[in-house]
Amino acid sequence: MKSVSLEEFNWIKEAILLEERKDAFVEQVVPKRFSHYCKIFHPMFRDNNIKDETILWPDTDPNEPFTFDVGEKISYKQFCAKYNLPFSKEVSTQSILRKMNLPRYIITPTEGEIEEDLMKEIVKTIKPFSLDQQIYYYFNFIKIKDFWKEGKDEDFLYKGELEEIFDFYQHDTVYLTPTYWWPEDKSWCICNDHDLDFTLVGGSKDFITSLISNNELEAFEVFPNTRIDYKADEENN
């Protein structure tokens, strides 16, 4: 793994026009150059410390220390079915919170982070499409440790092998997982923005189909005009 020039990120930066964002759609996060797109939901988990499912997060004392005992994985589709909420590709934790208070036993995904077991499934699935290629890993300054320690607003870009993405889970410079990552031939692009608790992917039909077909992933096809902001999933308003 080595640090490389941020100029290699320009093909994404110029395509998504960050400074012109008003509403947010897939095409404003992942370049509109791919034939297919998908959204990968990051799973919820059950907190085994909480046996009473009627206790809600607002019922807890925010000043009282608590720990998680991470248990069963819960998909968004399972959660929506259990609580009679409409399920669509636009669902997110934010949209669910507009409809209901979350039960305390639910551990929601962390924004800007792909949980490691989920990352293993993604890497395993995309590996056949990335043979003999180096991968670029871009981190927005929000995910840089020095930003939070010293206020430095510097982005970083690394280049390495596909499996080296796991090195970032214990990295000296960055937090969480890359904001963007893509291969040398730019045939696919994966985005895990610091404001999102899900991942967006652009690529070929076969590439996206491989992710959607993986039963260990909760992935659904989306389109460039699919909403991803606070106005998404209006069925749950």
Tokens (6 digits) for 212? 């959607």
Alpha carbon separation from 209 to 38, 39, 203, 223 (Å, rounded): 9, 12, 10, 14
* pTM, full prediction: 0.92
Domain edges within the chain: 2-40+112-235, 43-109
139-197 pLDDT, tens digit each = 988 888 876 566 567 899 999 999 999 999 988 888 779 999 999 999 999 999 988 99
Distance CA 212, CA 206 (A): 10
202-236 pLDDT, tens digit each = 999 999 999 999 999 999 999 999 999 877 876 55
∠ Cα 213 11 186 (to 5°)? 35
